[in-house]
């Protein structure tokens, strides 16, 4: 199974860290990610640009509206993600605990849906790219 680890952070907590402490934290996280990738557990990891770079698209009554920022009602902001392979939710949670970010926000662990099954359900052929 594949799971997406959505990394949410409280920017205030990270900004309060001294620069060298943040760098040490990031180095450890990247080394951990490298180990998981070498094991075949980590498929993809990516940090996101700050929320000041985000735009949100909403379409209502056929009218598209683009606004700056995520405008989420939360102090924690989506900062990045990891796509992993895990046998089940319990293993995915154990993998998530290996990253430090839950100390500065939260890590949402969500299984990926089976898109081939969804394609079949709606009457489309399964393609080589899904």
The residues near 70 (Cβ < 8 Å, ≥ 6 apart) are 51, 54, 56, 77, 78
Q: Give pLDDT tens digits for 100-110.
A: 999 898 999 99
Average pLDDT of every residue of the chain? 88
Token pair recorded at residue 29: 């996280």
Measuring CA to CA, which residue among 6, 3, 86, 5 is closest to residue 40?
86
Indicate the SS3 state at residue 88. coil
CATH code that applies to domain 2-121: 3.30.70.1060
Q: Give pLDDT tens digits for 12-29.
A: 898 899 999 999 999 999
- Quote the pLDDT of residue 129: 61
Q: How far apart are the first and last CA of the chain?
A: 15
Q: Give pLDDT tens digits for 23-81.
A: 999 999 999 999 999 999 999 999 998 877 888 788 899 998 888 876 655 677 889 99
Which whole-number Å values give the CA distances from 77 to 8, 72, 103, in the listed order?
5, 8, 14
Record the pTM: 0.84
- Percent of the chain whose predicted confidence (pLDDT) is above 90: 56
- Quote the pLDDT of residue 11: 85
Radius of gyration of the chain (CA): 18
**How would you classify the pairing of strands 105-111 and 42-47?**
unpaired
- Quote the pLDDT of residue 54: 80
Domain boundaries, the chain: 2-121
């Amino acid at each position: 199974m594949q799971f997406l680890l959505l990394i949410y952070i409280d920017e205030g907590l990270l900004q309060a860290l001294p620069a060298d402490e943040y760098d040490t934290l990031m180095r450890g996280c990247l080394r951990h990610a490298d180990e998981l990738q070498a094991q075949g557990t980590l498929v993809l990891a990516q940090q996101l640009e700050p929320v000041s770079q985000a735009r949100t698209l909403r379409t209502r009554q056929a009218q598209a509206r683009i606004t700056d920022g995520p405008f989420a009602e939360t102090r924690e902001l989506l900062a990045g993600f990891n796509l992993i392979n895990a046998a089940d939710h319990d293993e995915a949670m154990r993998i998530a605990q290996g990253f430090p970010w839950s100390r500065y926000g939260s890590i949402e662990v969500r299984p990926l849906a089976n898109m081939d099954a969804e394609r079949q359900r709606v009457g489309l052929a399964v393609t080589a790219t899904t």
